[in-house]
Amino acid sequence: MSRRKARHEICSLQELPVGERKIVDIGKRSIGIFNVHGDFYAVRNICPHQGAELCRGTVGGTMLPTENPGEYNYALDGRILRCPWHFWEFDITTGEMIFVPDPKRVKTYDVTVEKPELERYEVGVEEDVVVLYL
Please identify, using beta-carbon distances, which residue of 22 and 49 lies nearer to ligand FES.
49
Closest CA to 62 of 27, 11, 96: 96
Of residues 35-64, those binding ligand FES (CB under 6 A): 47, 49-50, 52
Considering beta carbons, is residue 29 or 86 the nearer one to ligand FES?
86
98 binds ligand FES (CB under 6 A): no
According to CB under 6 A, which one of 11, 61, 62, 85 is a site residue for ligand FES?
85
Interaction between residue 115 and ligand FES (CB under 6 A): no
Instruction: Work out how close the CB of 99 gets to ligand FES at its nearest, in angstroms, rounded to a whole number.
Output: 12
What is the rounded CA–CA span in Å between residue 124 and residue 126? Answer: 6
Instruction: Name 81's Cβ contacts closer than 8 Å, sequence gap at least 6.
Output: 32, 34, 43, 54, 55, 57, 58, 59, 89, 90, 91, 92
Furthest C-alpha separation in the chain = 56
What are the backbone angles phi and psi of residue 13, rounded to the nearest 5°? -60, -35
Q: Least Å distance between CB 97 and ligand FES?
A: 9
Q: Which one, of 24, 87, 37, 93, lies nearest residue 57 by Cα?
A: 87
Q: Note whether 86 binds ligand FES by CB under 6 A.
A: yes
Q: Which residues bind ligand FES (CB under 6 A)?
A: 47, 49-50, 52, 83, 85-86, 88
